[in-house]
């Protein structure tokens, strides 16, 4: 006996034999359903994470105005009646200055190897092909993969600038499609989604209908805390930090209310950074904790008791053993 779900709604249809699975209705369902893996590549701070979050309709990857926010490959899952798209948000391509940077660039390139389609996101405000964009473009040319050029932030420039960029990039590669968008203004994202769907192949739904990421709750908590540090701290500190959740436990209070206890440590590179993160009278650490808790309560749909500590791990961004411990290598 096999369990059967309706892919469009996730509704449980009951158990049936393998023989029953070969009915006309079920054959049509499996023969027309489409799926695919889609990587999102681009230079730092072009809007890759915001694009994925918007397309999926959930906050999965953290997004800030600071470059190199994304460190790992982050998966976002969009399931519709007729298709499923697995988005892979990748770190921005840059010239690495340490082992962490090397890992991030390696992760971005590896994520593009086995995908069905690539979204190459560029900034509409750029007037030429930058160094990072050139590196990505050369990789795309070598791979000969299907690729959609996504020109983001078109709300900030004139139509003439967009036309010039389209002409500039179209001379370099035969893109499957070129879609100018403004993620923050939700402009042309429906067109982009249609183009992605058109390039999907017939295939199964790899994830259940209710799943929107393959990240664990612990990973989501770590990234939420890191996002708040990126937003609140000075430029020098954030990229030298890493968050590790040591405890995450759901429980019921005496009043039978649900609550999640989370204990996490913010690791930084220097003692001076530790002082900045904690702040005068602990005010900065309290702000980080407050903002992180508010977001986590929305994500987890329950009250959160968040406790934060700060520790120094000198030069961890160049320590292979620590990077392995932090799952960054």
pLDDT tens track for 87-142: 988 764 444 444 445 545 555 556 556 789 999 999 999 989 998 899 889 989 98
Cα–Cα distances in angstroms (integers) from residue 215 to residues 176, 256, 284, in the given order:
30, 28, 28
Instruction: Give kind and range of the element (H or E) at residue 26.
Output: helix 24-32
Which carries the bigger pLDDT value, residue 136 or residue 230?
A: 136
HSE on the CB side for 6, CA within 13 Å? Answer: 7
Rounded Cα–Cα distance for residues 32 and 45 (Å): 37
User: Does the pLDDT of residue 27 top 60, yes or no?
Assistant: no
Helix, strand, or coil (residue 5): strand
Tokens of 217: 């709750």
Q: What is the pLDDT of residue 30?
A: 56
pTM score of the predicted model: 0.70
Asked if 128 contacts 108 with a C-beta cutoff of 8 angstroms, the reply is no
Average pLDDT value for residue range 229-240: 74
- Phi/psi at 310 (5° precision): -125, 130
Rounded Cα–Cα distance for residues 79 and 62 (Å): 21
Tokens of 273: 């950074």
Lowest average pLDDT, out of 85-89, 177-181, 256-260, goes to: 85-89
The model's confidence at residue 2, banded by pLDDT at 50, 70 and 90, is very low
Rounded Cα–Cα distance for residues 153 and 135 (Å): 21
Cα–Cα distances in angstroms (integers) from residue 23 to residues 9, 16, 29, 83, in the given order:
19, 11, 10, 21
Average pLDDT value for residue range 140-163: 94
DSSP 100: H
Sheet holding 242-252, edge to edge: 242-252, 258-268, 303-312
Rounded Cα–Cα distance for residues 53 and 56 (Å): 5
Cβ contacts of residue 123 below 8 Å, gap of 6+?
A: 43, 45, 46, 47, 152, 153
Average pLDDT value over all residues in the chain: 80
pLDDT tens track for 270-285: 898 999 999 999 999 9
Asked if 309 contacts 289 with a C-beta cutoff of 8 angstroms, the reply is no
Rounded Cα–Cα distance for residues 33 and 53 (Å): 23
Average pLDDT value for residue range 243-271: 93
What is the separation of C-alpha 277 from the centre of its chain, rounded to a whole number of angstroms?
A: 25
Cβ contacts of residue 242 below 8 Å, gap of 6+?
A: 226, 266, 267, 313, 316, 326, 328
Domains and CATH numbers, the chain: 1-32 (no CATH), 34-202 (3.40.50.300), 217-325 (3.30.300.20)
DSSP 244: E
Rounded Cα–Cα distance for residues 310 and 292 (Å): 15
Q: Which of 287, 278, 273, 283 is nearest to 228 (CA)?
A: 287
Asked if 26 contacts 4 with a C-beta cutoff of 8 angstroms, the reply is yes
Cα–Cα distances in angstroms (integers) from residue 303 to residues 32, 210, 265, 296, 299, in the given order:
42, 22, 20, 8, 10
Asked if 107 contacts 91 with a C-beta cutoff of 8 angstroms, the reply is yes
Residue 184, class by beta-carbon neighbours within 10 Å (0-12 exposed, 13-18 middle, 19+ buried)?
Answer: middle
């Amino acid at each position: 006996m096999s369990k059967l779900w309706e892919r469009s709604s996730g509704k449980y249809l009951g158990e049936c034999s393998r023989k029953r699975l070969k009915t006309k209705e079920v054959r049509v369902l499996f023969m027309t359903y489409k799926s695919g893996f889609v990587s999102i590549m681009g230079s730092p701070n072009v809007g890759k994470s915001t694009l994925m979050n918007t397309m999926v309709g959930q906050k999965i990857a953290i997004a800030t105005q600071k470059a190199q926010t994304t460190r790992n490959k982050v998966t976002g899952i969009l399931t519709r009646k007729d298709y499923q798209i697995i988005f892979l948000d990748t770190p921005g391509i840059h010239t690495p200055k340490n082992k962490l940077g090397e890992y991030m660039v390696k992760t971005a390139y590896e994520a593009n190897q086995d995908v069905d389609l690539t979204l190459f996101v560029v900034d509409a405000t750029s007037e030429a092909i930058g160094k990072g964009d050139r590196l990505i473009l050369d990789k795309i040319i070598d791979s000969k993969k299907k690729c959609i050029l996504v020109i983001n932030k078109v709300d900030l420039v004139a139509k003439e600038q967009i036309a010039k960029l389209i002409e500039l990039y179209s001379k370099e590669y035969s893109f499957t499609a070129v879609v100018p968008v403004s993620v923050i203004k939700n402009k042309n994202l429906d067109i982009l989604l249609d183009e992605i769907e058109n390039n999907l192949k017939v295939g199964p739904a790899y994830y259940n209908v209710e799943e929107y990421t393959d990240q664990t709750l612990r990973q989501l908590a770590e990234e939420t805390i890191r996002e708040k540090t990126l937003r609140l701290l000075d430029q020098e500190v954030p990229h030298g930090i890493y968050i590790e959740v040591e405890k995450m436990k759901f429980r019921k209070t005496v009043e039978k209310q649900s609550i999640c206890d989370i204990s996490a440590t913010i690791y930084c590179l220097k003692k001076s950074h530790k002082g900045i993160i904690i702040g005068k009278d602990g005010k900065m650490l309290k702000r980080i904790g407050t903002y992180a808790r508010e977001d986590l309560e929305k994500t987890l749909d329950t009250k959160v008791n968040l406790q934060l500590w700060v520790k120094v791990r000198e030069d961890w961004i160049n320590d292979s053993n620590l990077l392995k411990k932090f799952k960054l290598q």
